[in-house]
Structure formats: C-alpha cells, structure tokens
Amino acid sequence: AQRVTQPEKLLSVFKGAPVELKCNYSYSGSPELFWYVQYSRQRLQLLLRHISRESIKGFTADLNKGETSFHLKKPFAQEEDSAMYYCALSPSGNTGKLIFGQGTTLQVKP
Amino acid sequence: GAGVSQSPSNKVTEKGKDVELRCDPISGHTALYWYRQSLGQGLEFLIYFQGNSAPDKSGLPSDRFSAERTGGSVSTLTIQRTQQEDSAVYLCASEGILNTEAFFGQGTRLTVV
C-alpha cells in the first residue's frame, strides 16, 4: 500500500538547534516526494520537492531509497520556522494528486 | 485575486442537510484538486479535474460526495445528507499546465452539528 508516515506529531526544539523532521514512505515504484508547510493562519504551501534538490529557507531533504525516507533537515532552527510540516508522495508524477503524511508540528522555542 | 479562493470560510450545518463548497482556482490553471483534512488526520485526496477530461473520483469516500467543475474554472464540492464525520477542513488546490506545483486555497471549515 502507498503510505507516508511522519512518526512525530510534535517536535519541539530551541532556536539555533538542528532540526530533523522524519518522513518514511511506502511505495513500490520511483516516487516523487514533497514537503509542504503551513504557517499559522496561512494556507498550505510547497516548501521543497526532491527532484529540484533545492535548499529553501535553509531546509534540505534527501531521498534515501534504501531506507525509504525523505527527512527534512535544517542545521539551525529559527522561531519563524514554527509551523505544521507535511511530507507528501506523488505516486503518479502528478504533483497535485498527493498522499500526505499526518503532519508534524514544529515548535521552535526562543 | 492572485490565489485559490474558497467560500465560505466556515460553514455550520445540521446533520442531514446538503452543503456546497466553492473553489475558484488560479486563472488559467487547468488542474483542480479537492482534499479533506479531518481532525488529527493528514490531508486526504478526494477528487481531481484536469481540463476537459473525466474527473478522477477515486478519493471520494461515499456517493454522498460529488463535485463538478463548470467551464473548466470554478468547482463545487457537494456533500449530501451530511453526517458528523463529514466535519473537516476542505481544501482546494489548482495547478498550471507545467505541473510544477499545486497551490492551495485557505480551506472551508465544515462543522456538522
């Protein structure tokens, strides 16, 4: 079955600490993976996708096919990073038809 | 407007009533998606429209749910005979022809009492 798992509902770190938001997926083919972010009172927006290999707002994510993971990392968390983060998988290459994880709330404390 | 617009922002309805939720996609976007976000759940795909093709209804949870897209633009999601478990935030997203990114609306929060 196609599935995205984000094991942590809440991740709380202090400002300046490293952050790693975990995402594991279950998919038999070559998936396309995304991280979406929703800041307080804002709409859901794309943060990054694995094929672009970009670093957005200091965040990076590497697709590890062996471990079927796509963890989101940032070396030094900022308070403005506090938000809900969703990992998502596109099974068909369709970037809008996505299977989402349940989300992780990142709380960055001052 | 520049973004995906959904209306109403909030809707409270009585169990058993029908509701219609509206989505105005970004102008020129050919693809339109509906998602549902229930309390404590991730986002759940409902339905997908692409141009004039038949919609992908594979995510609709029951036959009480339907959606249409008129003129390739505005979409309406209809829930008939609402149940309490239908309470959720319903999100709409649209995507341009290059298929690089889906842009989400602010959502409609539906509460069935």
Mean pLDDT per 10-residue interval, chain A, length 110 residues? 92 97 90 93 91 84 91 96 96 83 96
In total, the C-beta contacts within 8 angstroms joining chain A to chain B are 51
- Min Cα–Cα distance to chain B from A79, Å: 23
Distances (CA, A) of A13 to A105, B29, B32: 11, 39, 37
In angstroms, the CA B29 to CA B50 distance is 9
Nearest to A33 by CA among A74, A68, A70, A64: A70
In angstroms, the CA B44 to CA B60 distance is 9
Burial B72-107 (b: 16+ CB within 10 A, else e): eeebebebeebeeebbbbbbbbbbbeeeeebbbbbb
Backbone CA torsion sign across A94, B44, A39, A33: negative
Identify from A44, A45, A49, A99 which residue to disrupt to test chain B contact, counting B C-beta atoms within 10 A and taking the largest count. A44
| B40, B44, B95: residue with CB nearest A96 | B95
Closest B-chain CA to A102: B42
> For B16, what's the count of Cα atoms within 13 Å in the CB-facing half-sphere?
0
State the amino acid at position B24 in one-letter form: D
Rounded mean pLDDT of B88-93? 97
Identify from A51, A54, A94, A104 which residue to disrupt to test chain B contact, counting B C-beta atoms within 10 A and taking the largest count. A94
| B42, B48, B106: residue with CB nearest A100 | B42
Checking if the pLDDT of B1 tops 70, the result is no
In angstroms, the CA B55 to CA B47 distance is 7
Interface contact B95-A102, CB threshold 8 A: no
**Is A3 near chain B, with CB under 8 Å?**
no
Rounded mean pLDDT of B49-54? 89
Interface contact A97-B104, CB threshold 8 A: no
For the ranges A36-40, A41-45, B5-9, B40-44, which has the lowest average pLDDT?
B40-44
Per-residue confidence at B41, pLDDT binned at 50, 70, 90? confident
When mean pLDDT is compared over A25-29, A83-87, B68-72, B94-98, the highest value belongs to A83-87
In angstroms, the CA B74 to CA B80 distance is 19
Average pLDDT value over all residues in chain B: 93
Supply the pLDDT for residue A60.
Answer: 93
- Full 3-state SS string of chain B: CCCCEEECCEEEECCCCCEEEEEECCCCCCEEEEEEECCCCCEEEEEEEECCCCCECCCCCCCCEEEEEHHHCCEEEEECCCCHHHCEEEEEEEECCCCCCEEECCCEEEEEC
| List of residues 6+ apart from A41 with CB closer than 8 A | none
* Strands A10-14 vs A104-109: parallel, antiparallel or unpaired: parallel
All residues of chain A having their beta carbon less than 8 Å from the beta carbon of residue B91 are 44
Interface contact A4-B42, CB threshold 8 A: yes
| B48, B105, B106: residue with CB nearest A96 | B48
Supply the pLDDT for residue A109.
Answer: 97
| A44, A86, A97: residue with CB nearest B48 | A97
